[in-house]
A = this chain, B = another copy of it.
Amino acid sequence: MSDENDEMVVTPYEVRGKLDYDRLIQMFGTQRIDKKLKEKLFKVAGERHFMLERDLFFSHRDLDWILEEHVKGNPFTIYTGRGPSGDTHIGHLVPWIFTKWLQDRVKTRLYFQMTNDEKYFFNSNLSLDDVKRYTHENTLDLLALGFQPENTYIIQDIEHIDMLYEIAIEVARKVTFSTVKATFGFDNSTNIGSLWHPAIQAVPAFLHSWIYGKNTPCLIPCAIDQDPFWRVTRDIAEKLGYYKPATIQCMFVPGLKEGGKMSASDEMSVIYTTDTPKMAKRKVMAAFTGGRATVEEQRRLGANPDICSVFKWYKFIFVPDDAKLAEIERTCKSGELLCGPCKQFLAPLMVDFLEKHQAAREEVKDRVDEFSAARLRDEIRR
């Protein structure tokens, strides 16, 4: 790769180049989650979670404040979402798994936004039917993780626009072209739907407060690339009488190839939730690792887990157990564990996960409506 291609670009619409998360924090103006803040969250949750422990979630805005409010008896809601432009892969599930843990621990409501309008605006190859179909398919993947309907409200932008539009127009009046140009890199050739969409994406941060007529803090767990949306949302929140939403932001789950995030642009780097066990296994066995050129060399010098995609998958998804992870790391570095056997260890974990996920996905197929934000229509004050 040339230096030019290595240049880091992280926007909600594009992630490429060599990722430098310290620089991202600086560029976006967020805060790093330090040890003290981690402990604060674990205390509120009454349990630790390896994704935060291991810094997959590494950045935040006002997380300390929202936890303090919670402790003071001012609880928060959670908001996250998905742009349904394609099939779900395992990288998408990771922040949802953490979100579910957080929801379960603090027992709060989750608003999950499917931004099917956004994906329609930004991808001229997608039809309305396409984004609706992906909305449905992606919803199955979300629900397969075990969310419960009582506290889970899935918003579909196009289908639920009647519940979003009033807040969206309040937001939109406060946001200029200059702002979205500077924040998202839009230009004169950007279509007016794309220009408008940040107003819609802001809405779920305020929806609970608006429906129930009581200003309620909102915490947004999401990948760091979505931060520009929250900058805009936070800038106008107080002008509309709402709290600024807080965020807890994660890194990108790496693909099975070298560097970068898991991305649909390289099929072999991505495990889709609908991949067959055979396909998943083949992808794992072809994964990029930190191994040496020869077995002999690796036995002698050890391998490098820091650049290994397989090790990252252990770390961020498949090996929550710290002792087990440390053992893998030690034997990798020492040369005891070769890449072949190491992949042979990941493969069944992956297959097992997929089989359970696909079964759960099948089970929720006819239950999507139970989770729909449409249930809130009756509660909306007109």
A residues contacting B by CB (< 8 A) are 117, 120-121, 124, 128, 158, 161-162, 165-166, 169-170, 172-178, 180-181, 186-193, 195-196, 198-199
Q: Which of B170, B174, B188, B199 contacts A176 (CB 8 A)?
A: B188
CB atoms of A121 and B169 under 8 A apart:
yes
Contact call A187/B192, Cβ cutoff below 8 A: no
CB distance from A131 to the nearest CB of B (A): 10
Would you call B165 and A192 a contact (CB within 8 A)? no
State whether A198 touches B192 (Cβ < 8 A): yes
Which B residue's beta carbon lies closest to that of A165? Answer: B161
Find the B residue at minimum CB distance from A168.
Answer: B193
Chain B residues closer than 8 Å to A189, beta-carbon distance: 176-178
Task: Report B-chain residues with C-beta under 8 Å of the C-beta of A120.
Answer: 169, 173
Are A172 and B199 in contact, CB atoms less than 8 angstroms apart?
no
Question: Taking the nearest CB of chain B, how far is it from the CB of A167, in angstroms?
Answer: 10
Which listed residue, B174, B178, B191, touches A188 by the CB 8 Å rule?
Answer: B178
- With a cutoff of 8 Å between Cβ atoms, the chain B residues found around residue A170 in the complex are 128
Distance in Å: Cβ of A84 to nearest Cβ of chain B: 14
Contact call A196/B173, Cβ cutoff below 8 A: no
B166 touches A192 (CB 8 A): no
State A137–B204 Cα separation when bound (angstroms).
Answer: 32
A177, A186, A198 — most chain B CB neighbours (10 Å): A177
Contact (A174, B191) CB under 8 Å given A161-B161, A161-B165, A169-B121: yes
Residues of the B chain whose Cβ atoms lie less than 8 Å from the Cβ of A198: 192
Chain B hits for A173, CB < 8 A: 120-121, 124, 191, 193
Q: Give me 14 other A-B pairs in contact (C-beta within 8 A), A177-B186, A177-B191 excluded.
A: A117-B165, A128-B166, A128-B169, A158-B169, A161-B162, A162-B162, A165-B165, A173-B191, A177-B177, A177-B188, A177-B195, A181-B188, A192-B196, A195-B195
Give, as a whole number of angstroms, the nearest-CB distance from A118 to chain B.
10
Q: Which residue of B lies closest to A117 (CB)?
A: B169
| Set of chain B residues within 8 Å of A178, measured between Cβ atoms | 188-189
How close is A252's CB to chain B, nearest CB, in angstroms? 27
B191 touches A172 (CB 8 A): yes
Which 8 pairs of residues, A with B, have the shortest CB-CB distance?
A172-B193, A196-B196, A162-B162, A161-B165, A178-B188, A172-B192, A177-B188, A175-B192
Cβ distance A42 to chain B, nearest Cβ, rounded Å: 39
- 24 A-B contacts, Cβ less than 8 Å apart? A117-B165, A120-B173, A121-B169, A124-B173, A128-B166, A128-B169, A128-B170, A158-B166, A158-B169, A161-B161, A162-B162, A172-B193, A175-B192, A176-B189, A176-B192, A177-B186, A177-B187, A177-B191, A177-B195, A180-B192, A181-B188, A192-B195, A196-B196, A196-B199
Q: Of A169, A189, A198, which is in contact with the most chain B CB atoms at under 10 Å from its CB?
A: A169
